[in-house]
A and B are shown apart, each in its own frame.
Chain A
Amino acid sequence: MISLRGVSLLYPNGVRALDHVSLEIGKGEFVFLVGHSGTGKSSLLRLLYREALPSSGDITVDGIRVNRLPSRRVPALRRHLGVVFQDFKLLADKTVWENVAFAMQVTGAPTKDILRQVPRALDLVGLSHRSRMYPDELSGGEQQRTAIARALVNNPKILLCDEPTGNLDPANTTEIVDLLLRINLKGTTVVVATHNQAVVDRMRRRVVRLENGKVVTDKERGYYYLGLGQGQVLSG
């Protein structure tokens, strides 16, 4: 479903965000990308939804060769992807319902599809009863669930999450992670970049660890710190 081969990303200021990263993620997988801030997790996700282009290497997402994709085709790629961020990126002057519907309206979806799919997405994240409320009337967890509903409303095959629980307390974090798991069980490939050790260790899913722009470990049913006790830090 997602494939990176020898991908490097060099920023104009000379920083090497990714250094010959190769990674295969299959259909329906649930993958954590872990590592300290600035190790390239977000950069890797940005490459997947084509917010950035790699300096070298090949990236394929759902059969689309992303690094060769002309700009005018980028919207088509993004409709196959759902993206969720730490800061939710909700529109404050739109209700929950409107925020979710927005993702369909701006892609020119017919009204009857919108009326069918928005309630379904809201139901999936458990926010049907909040649909008329505005983002600032919601808890952080509810805001993130709104963002997830928006990411899912176009039925993407892949959900990319960049620190989805970074702004949330432990209770809301658990709620969001459980939701991501439920979404994954329905067949959506989920990639979560996080540095939340508790979440990763509780879930025991595939863990890809990045350090200085390189994949240093890649383990099924992994821990945040591979093979090390909690609290210990791998050097490098």
Chain B
Amino acid sequence: MDWGRVKFFLGEVARSFTRNTLMQITAIGTVAMTLMLLGAFLYVRTTLADLGNGMLAQIEISAYLEPNVTPHQINALRAAFKVDPRISSAEFVPKSEGLKELRARMRGIIDTSLLTENPLPDKFRIRVRAPQLVPAVAKDVARLSGIQRVLYGQQVVTRLLQLGEVLRRVGMALIALFLVVAGIIISNTTRLAVYARRREIGIMHLVGATNAYIRMPFIVEGLVVGILGAVAAIVLLVAAHAMFWPRILEALPFVRFNTAVVDVPSLILQLFLVGAIIGSAAAWVAVGRYLQT
């Protein structure tokens, strides 16, 4: 290791960095804001997705059988459900059982003693492995022989799925926008740094420095901006979480958030990487564009 070279290189980066302090702080601030938004969004999204999945997981498909279905057909259906990889469980509920359940559910609401006859058909109670699969499975089950009708919370399921999708897209668009803004600001900072050092760069070219060598300090500078922005964002997010999250939980006691599903170390790592990548990539693009070679 040639320490003289390392020292020279770091000296060049440090000199360039301190020459434009105000602009660098702006860039770091922008990265920090962007990453805070990204971090908060990912945190909330994971929590909400878990909440949504919890609701969707309770959804079951009721496949009602035709009144004159044979035991043979029931067995065939049972077998068909068993081999379908999307279906996690299929439970046969005979009509007597169904009536018992109905009575239990309606107790106190209506007078169940009025139910003297059993109006219910036999049914299968089907659960699927992922909520997204519910509509497709329901459709397939309806086609099987012996099935009269398939019911599930059609509207609830499709609405929830749609809502989740819309939220995801809006969030992603916002974050993409912020990342672009952060990139542009870092690019501009790099451009200023290149401009401030144009004499040196000219001399470097003249004495035979390679383009890669000339660009390196600027890219390292961008990388440092990205990393500092990420660190600031992580610190602020952790602080904000400690301050505000308990109050949010307190304000919404009926919503059962499960924050344990958020993988915090991985989230921090992601923010850190995004910061480093956006910083160095924006600087890389900027030196490529503004450094005449």
A106-B5 CB under 8 A given contacts A91-B199, A154-B208 = no
> Are A106 and B213 neighbours in the complex by a CB distance under 8 Å?
yes
With an 8 A cutoff between CB atoms, is B8 at the interface?
yes
- Flag A84-113 by CB within 8 Å of B: 1 or 0 each: 000001010000000000110111101100
With an 8 A cutoff between CB atoms, is A124 at the interface?
no
**Main SS of the interface on chain A?**
helix
Q: Which stretch in A17-25, A32-40, A73-81 binds the other chain?
A: A73-81
**Minimum Cβ distance to chain A for residue B203 (Å):** 6
With an 8 A cutoff between CB atoms, is B250 at the interface?
no
Report how many residues on chain B are interfacial, defined by Cβ distance under 8 Å. Answer: 20
Report how many residues on chain A are interfacial, defined by Cβ distance under 8 Å. Answer: 25
With an 8 A cutoff between CB atoms, is B165 at the interface?
no
**Inter-chain contacts of B4 with A (CB < 8 A):** 110-111, 114-115
With an 8 A cutoff between CB atoms, is B164 at the interface?
no
A89 interface neighbour in B2, B202, B208, Cβ under 8 Å: B202
> Are B207 and A108 neighbours in the complex by a CB distance under 8 Å?
no
> Are A83 and B2 neighbours in the complex by a CB distance under 8 Å?
no
**Minimum Cβ distance to chain A for residue B233 (Å):** 34
A78-B206 CB under 8 A given contacts A105-B8, A106-B213 = yes
**Minimum Cβ distance to chain B for residue A104 (Å):** 8
A78-B5 CB under 8 A given contacts A89-B199, A91-B200, A106-B213 = no
With an 8 A cutoff between CB atoms, is A235 at the interface?
no
CA distance A215 to B202 in the complex (A): 30
**Inter-chain contacts of A83 with B (CB < 8 A):** 206
**Inter-chain contacts of B207 with A (CB < 8 A):** 78-79, 102-103, 106-107, 150-151, 154
**Inter-chain contacts of A78 with B (CB < 8 A):** 205-208
The residue of chain B having its C-beta at the shortest distance from the C-beta of A85 within the complex is: B206
> Are B202 and A79 neighbours in the complex by a CB distance under 8 Å?
no
**Inter-chain contacts of B8 with A (CB < 8 A):** 105
> Are A49 and B206 neighbours in the complex by a CB distance under 8 Å?
yes
CA distance A91 to B205 in the complex (A): 14
The residue of chain A having its C-beta at the shortest distance from the C-beta of B214 within the complex is: A106
The residue of chain A having its C-beta at the shortest distance from the C-beta of B15 within the complex is: A93
> Which residues of A approach B to under 8 Å, CB–CB?
49, 71-72, 74-79, 83, 89, 91, 102-103, 105-108, 110-111, 114-115, 150-151, 154
> Which residues of B approach A to under 8 Å, CB–CB?
2-5, 8, 199-200, 202-211, 213-214, 293
